[in-house]
């Protein structure tokens, strides 16, 4: 094996690529910042600009927009910790962007779920968890804000099972809570870790470690807390689930950690165990079966496209997850879907707070490539001529539909350009009625907030004011059929036949009842709730 090969394998094996999910305000931003702090990527906490605006719903869209320049650099972050190269993917907290979350999770190898210890499992945690479940990736739980009085840890563990339906294994157990949160007990090392005073979480916390039966801990904790800890551990050992790594990797068992991102308590024990347990990049499914990340042929797929990140440049970036081989700046690769060669110049990587031009990147890494309008979400790239295509990224069923027009007919060209770009980014889906001129465009979105994004971005990025006319539809089904003939299709009065951007036939329904009637009347036709692009 040549030296280059060896270092390539080492590089792959030290990669850890994961997404952090949480209900807004549970502490995702704070935890991310603390991971950067422990990774040495920032020196003092508080230096990463807050992305909190992302979490606040409709009225704050303007704010979100202002923050977008910041959020892109933090939407993928890379840093080193203990020999591992970590790639963190950010996911939007708002439910209206759950499609975006799904796409981001396609690029991740595992997920960290942050839970507020006082609130337990919140609505958005539930939805995001379901998305992780669909992906079948390992999920790690960080129960945050232990420095505040919260729910009983046993109750939180039970909630994971009751509300999310996932078994859990506490990797550590909190010692005290609220003002008395003193440390954690590591169940595998059978060791107590007490946290020092710290400086309000600005820098790393000092710790005192030792065995539970060491007399010094009885003094440090006090008789009562020490006894309670011993009892809790005994109960967990007897009544809790067993730790089985395969179950974790299959997404059936979640390792749980307790801590406080704000004060840094428990951040380091979490990071160390998590990096040991989660996997380096794993083989991914393609049209040729599983592709091993350690193979030479460079391959990857695009999971996110973001245009106009920087208003002065009007650039468009496609986010590429590298799946195998080595990426080298300036390399020419095959764009499998379009059957064309493209040169990847100016690739960018996102290091802590900076965007830098990347020279070399490895499986597990995410790079941003300049997109002159040729990429679509789900596209595959590969170095050789094998035409390796990764499993596509599905289109989810929109639940809100509107007809969209430009107010000013003279702006029609910009209007169409904007609509097409936002559709390629996955912000909206666009449909047309067959045999009706291009004057009428129907837009579908999964979350209503996306209509605001559409209106705002068309105005700000394309100078187009629009009118939207809400339509009564709530459901969509794709018709999987070659040579579909609408005239032979029997639908209800309140159903509409349209075509999506790939000219696939689609049905829009006002209610579930109509779906059932149409199914009954057209028994030989398959109706699908999600669709894969070509
Ligand atoms: P998010 O990204 O998941 O939305 O949450 P974020 O980190 O922005 O945290 C939301 C709020 O919770 C922030 O308070 C943050 O300081 C606080 N927080 C995060 N982790 C902890 C923790 O471990 N303990 C405690 N007590 N609080 C925590 P804020 O008041 O909105 O902002 P700020 O004024 O503190 O900056």
Which of 382, 410, 427 is at the close of a domain?
A: 382
Residue 3 lies in a domain: no
Q: Please name the residues in contact with 496: beta carbons below 8 A apart, sequence gap of 6 or more.
A: 433, 473, 507, 508
SS3 439: coil
Pocket perturbation via mutation, ligand 1, pick of 19, 23, 24, 25 by most ligand atoms within 8 A of CB: 25
Which of 355, 382, 409 is at the close of a domain?
A: 382
Residue 509 neighbours by CB distance under 10 Å: 23
Binding residue per annotation — 226?
no
Assess whether pLDDT exceeds 90 at residue 532: no
CA atoms of 101 and 193, how far apart (whole Å): 35
184 CA → ligand 1 middle, Å: 21
Residues 130 and 191 in one domain: yes
Residues 196 and 338 in one domain: no
**Contact present, 364 and 279 (Cβ < 8 Å):** no
At residue 1, the pLDDT reads 45
| Ligand 1 atom with the shortest distance to the CA of 114 | 3
Residues 258 and 348 in one domain: no
Residues 444 and 470 in one domain: yes
178 CA → ligand 1 middle, Å: 15
Q: Which helix (H) or strand (E) holds 209?
A: strand 207-211
At residue 71, the pLDDT reads 42
Write the pLDDT tens digit of every residue in 95-114: 667 777 888 889 999 999 99
Q: What are phi and psi of 525, to 5 degrees?
A: -105, 135
Residues 115 and 234 in one domain: yes
| Ligand 1 atom with the shortest distance to the CA of 260 | 23
SS3 95: helix
| Ligand 1 atom with the shortest distance to the CA of 148 | 26
Write the pLDDT tens digit of every residue in 178-214: 988 999 999 999 999 998 876 666 777 778 888 888 8
End-to-end CA distance of the chain: 39
Calculate the CA 233 to chain-centre distance.
34
Q: Which of 348, 508, 318 is nearest to 424 (CA)?
A: 318
Q: What is the ipTM of this complex?
A: 0.97
Helices within 378-493 (DSSP H only): 412-424, 449-462
Residue 8 lies in a domain: no
> What's the pTM?
0.85
Residues 458 and 343 in one domain: no
CATH of the domain at 504: 3.30.70.3280
Binding residue per annotation — 293?
no
- Token pair in block for residue 265: 């308590």
143 CA → ligand 1 middle, Å: 13
51 CA → ligand 1 middle, Å: 11
Q: How confident is the model at residue 45 (pLDDT cuts 50, 70, 90)?
A: low
Residues 57 and 195 in one domain: yes
Residue 68 lies in a domain: yes
Between 447 and 478, the more confident residue is 478
Residue pointed to by tokens 């006082």: 118
Residue 143 lies in a domain: yes
Assess whether pLDDT exceeds 60 at residue 352: no
Residues 32 and 106 in one domain: yes
47 CA → ligand 1 middle, Å: 14
Burial label for 214, CB within 10 Å (0-12, 13-18, 19+), is middle
Per the structure, how many domains does the chain have?
3
DSSP E strand stretches across 238-347: 253-258, 284-286, 289-291, 299-307, 316-324, 327-328, 332-335, 340-343
**Contact present, 200 and 263 (Cβ < 8 Å):** yes
Write the pLDDT tens digit of every residue in 233-251: 999 999 888 899 999 999 9
Ligand 1, residues at Cβ distance < 6 Å: 22, 24-30, 52, 55, 93, 144-145, 147-148, 260-262
**Contact present, 20 and 75 (Cβ < 8 Å):** no
At residue 3, the pLDDT reads 52
SS3 452: helix
Q: How confident is the model at residue 215 (pLDDT cuts 50, 70, 90)?
A: confident
Q: What is the percentage of the chain residues whose pLDDT exceeds 70?
A: 87
**Contact present, 508 and 485 (Cβ < 8 Å):** no
Write the pLDDT tens digit of every residue in 254-263: 999 999 999 9
Smallest CA separation from ligand 1 atom 30, residue: 25
Give the range among 49-63, 115-129, 223-237 with minimum mean pLDDT.
Answer: 49-63
Residue 310 lies in a domain: yes
Pocket perturbation via mutation, ligand 1, pick of 113, 262, 263 by most ligand atoms within 8 A of CB: 262
Q: What is the DSSP annotation of 24-41?
A: TTSSHHHHHHHHHHHTTS
Q: How confident is the model at residue 54 (pLDDT cuts 50, 70, 90)?
A: very low
Residue 361 lies in a domain: yes
Residue 5 lies in a domain: no
Binding residue per annotation — 50?
no
Residues 401 and 526 in one domain: yes
Give residue 152's domain range. Answer: 17-74+90-277
| Ligand 1 atom with the shortest distance to the CA of 50 | 8
137 CA → ligand 1 middle, Å: 27
Between 166 and 501, the more confident residue is 166
């Amino acid at each position: 094996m040549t030296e280059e090969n060896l270092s390539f394998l080492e590089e792959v094996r030290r990669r850890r690529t994961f997404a952090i999910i949480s209900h807004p305000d549970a502490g995702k931003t704070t935890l991310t910042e603390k991971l950067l702090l422990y990774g040495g990527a920032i020196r003092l906490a508080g230096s990463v600009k807050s992305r909190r605006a992302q979490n606040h719903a409709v009225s704050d869209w303007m704010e979100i927009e202002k923050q977008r320049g910041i959020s892109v650099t933090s939407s993928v972050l890379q840093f080193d910790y203990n020999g591992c190269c970590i790639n963190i993917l950010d996911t939007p907290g708002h439910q209206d962007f759950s499609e975006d979350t799904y796409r981001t999770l396609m690029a991740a190898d595992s997920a960290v779920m942050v839970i507020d210890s006082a609130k337990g499992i919140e609505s958005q945690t539930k939805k995001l968890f379901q998305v992780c479940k669909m992906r079948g990736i390992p999920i790690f739980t960080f129960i945050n804000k232990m420095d505040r009085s919260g729910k009983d840890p046993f109750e939180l563990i039970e909630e994971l099972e009751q509300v999310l339906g996932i078994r859990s294994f506490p990797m550590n157990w909190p010692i005290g809570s609220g003002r008395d949160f003193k440390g954690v007990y590591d169940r595998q090392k059978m060791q107590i870790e007490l946290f020092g005073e710290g400086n309000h979480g600005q820098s790393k916390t000092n710790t005192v470690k030792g065995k539970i039966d060491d007399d010094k801990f009885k003094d440090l904790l006090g008789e009562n807390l020490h006894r309670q800890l011993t009892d809790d551990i005994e109960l967990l050992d007897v009544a809790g689930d067993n730790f089985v790594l395969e179950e974790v990797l299959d997404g059936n068992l979640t390792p749980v950690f307790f801590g406080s991102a704000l004060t840094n308590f428990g951040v380091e024990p979490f990071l160390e165990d998590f990096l040991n347990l989660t996997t380096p990049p794993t083989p991914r499914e393609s049209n040729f079966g599983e592709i091993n990340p350690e193979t030479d042929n460079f391959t990857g797929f695009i999971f996110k496209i973001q245009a106009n990140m920087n208003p002065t440049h009007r650039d468009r970036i496609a986010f590429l997850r590298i799946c195998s081989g080595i990426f080298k700046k300036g390399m020419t690769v095959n764009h499998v879907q379009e059957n064309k060669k493209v040169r990847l110049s100016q690739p960018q990587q996102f290091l802590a707070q900076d965007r830098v031009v990347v020279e070399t990147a490895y499986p597990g890494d995410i790079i941003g490539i300049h997109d002159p309008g040729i990429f679509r979400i789900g596209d595959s790239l590969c170095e050789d001529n094998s035409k390796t295509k990764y499993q596509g990224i599905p289109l989810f069923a929109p639940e809100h539909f509107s007809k969209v027009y430009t107010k000013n007919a003279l702006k029609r060209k910009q209007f169409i350009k904007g609509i097409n770009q936002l559709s390629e980014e996955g912000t909206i889906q666009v449909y047309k009625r067959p045999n009706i001129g291009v004057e009428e465009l129907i837009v579908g979105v999964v979350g209503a907030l996306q209509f605001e994004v559409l209106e705002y971005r068309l105005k700000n990025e394309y100078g187009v004011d629009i009118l939207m006319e809400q339509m009564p539809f709530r459901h969509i089904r794709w018709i999987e059929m070659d040579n579909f003939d609408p005239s032979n299709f029997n639908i209800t009065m309140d159903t509409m036949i349209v075509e999506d951007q790939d000219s696939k036939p689609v049905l829009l329904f006002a209610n579930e009842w109509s779906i059932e009637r149409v199914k009954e009347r057209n028994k030989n036709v398959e109706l699908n709730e999600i669709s894969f692009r070509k």
